[in-house]
Structure 1
Amino acid sequence: MSVIAEFTVDADDFALHHALTTAPDMIVEIERVVATMEDRIMPYFWVSGGDQSVFETAFNEDSSVTNVQKVDEIDEAVLYRAEWTENIETIVYAYIKIGATILQATGRDEYWELQMRFDNREEVSQFQTYCTEHEISFELSQIYHQEEPMASAQYGLTSKQRQTLVTALEAGYYDIPQATTMTELASNVGISQSAFSKRLHHGHKNLITNALTVSHPDDES
């Protein structure tokens, strides 16, 4: 049975240490990770929460990435694509050697919070052993079995988008009158208002596209 593990790792043992520490107010979320035919790993980063110009300068100077490209910008959050140049051991080992899936990765200041899915507990142990042997700072927060299908499989939602929508619903954001504000929700979740708004925006779009339309609205047919 697959296992989900959540843990933290120091930024200098993972990626973007220079960029994160130069702009400590910024929040970086890895949207997805793509392994290319050449075994290069191409992450996409959503960046929000502070001075984008300061972060972008530090991002371009960070030795762990190259070929930085700005892809999109929504509600003061910017999507970048880059290529990792250094051997980011945790990602390389988990993504290529073990075959684990990175579900979430959020970086801020000195550390990253990661959520990964492994095929079984033995693979989690192998991953922990690998981190220990390579002196990678690793703190396991929790480990559990997935008890329900991922929302993304049903409605195209990421786990963060689903969590954001459910949190807003349970807090009364959709009530009339509203029982809470987006600013309050973002504060409770621990992210910026713009990042929370971005998740709602993408969540609504994916939910409507997959639940209420027969074909994608952008399709010519």
Structure 2
Amino acid sequence: MAMLLATLVIDYPILRETLSRAPNTKVTWEQSDLTRDDTHQMLVWVDGDDEVAAFDAGLEVDPTVKTPLQVVDLDGRRLYQLELTDDGQRASVYPTVIEAGDVLQEVTATHEGWRFRVAFPSEEALEGFHAFFVDQDLAVELQQLHDGRELTNDSGSQYGITDRQREALVAAVDAGYLDIPRSCSLAELGQRLGISPNATSERFRRGVETLIENTVYPDAQSP
């Protein structure tokens, strides 16, 4: 199965109000969870030390998120655990991503909008993702589109993985996380990366999944 790798810039309403009040802040999505009681929680990294107060004040009035469940400061970066409001859940594309089997490789946001780098299993999945925003009258721009088997990148992400996913994979090998028996626990690996065990697991899983889909799996399916 050949993945389509696309980069899209979207006028996404999630955190729009917050970021408008902190224009020099950058948000990097880490993971999302849909809980059993139908709530949508997400972890995001926030960079912009000079605008902490403005960002936090924006969260208090943002119609798409509730007050942060937790904020952790790690080496100058802040990790926020947020829960979407009803308005936020209606605006969220994440359920569409899960249903279609899309892989969010890298998602970032500033006051200018959101940038999604996504691996789609088919053209239909890409069309469905694009249609989700069009149906809500949101501006969406497709900036790049590649066949996963043809993607090359001199930065070391030639297989479609992000720099942070590559960092997690390399750290896992160096630390002995893949050894039998393991020489490093998930918590210890997370300490190396400066993130939580859950975030480490998600980053490692996404990196392995993307690496397989863009290397071994497409080759195995070739005629």
In structure 2, what residue type is equivalent to 1:79? L
SS in 1 for 2:79: strand
* Amino acid of the structure 2 residue aligned with 1:208: A
210, 213, 218: which one pairs with 2:173?
210
Structure 1 segments of 4 or more deviating over 4 A?
A: none
Equivalent residue, structure 1, for 2:25: 26
Secondary structure at 1:51 match in 2: helix
Paired residue type of 1:69: L
Does residue 65 in structure 1 map to residue 68 in structure 2?
A: no
Equivalence map 1:153-192=2 (5 Å):
159-161=162-164
Q: Please give the alpha-carbon distance, in whole angstroms, between the structure 1 residues aligned to 2:28 and 2:14.
A: 12
Unaligned 5+ segments in structure 1 are 149-157, 164-202
Aligned residue-pair number: 168
How far the C-alpha of 1:90 sits from its partner, in A, is 4.9
Instruction: Give the letter for the 2:6 counterpart.
Output: A
Code of the residue aligned with 1:159 in structure 2: it is: T
Query: Structure 1 pair 71/210, CA: closer, same or farther in 2 (3 Å)?
Result: farther
8 A contact 1:35–1:42 mirrored in 2: yes
Does the CA contact (< 8 Å) of 1:15 and 1:88 recur in 2? no
TM-score by length of 1: 0.66
CA distance in 2, matches of 1:18, 1:135: 18
Cα shift at 1:212? 3.1
Equivalent position of 2:140 in the other structure: 138
RMSD value, Cα: 2.4
2:56 alignment partner, SS class:
helix
User: Structure 2 regions of 5+ residues with no counterpart?
Assistant: 152-160, 177-181, 189-223
Cα distance in 1 for partners of 2:73, 2:173 equals 23
Offset, 1:110: 2.6
118, 121, 136: which is aligned to 1:119?
121
In structure 2, the partner of 1:107 is 109
Q: Secondary structure at the match of 2:68?
A: strand
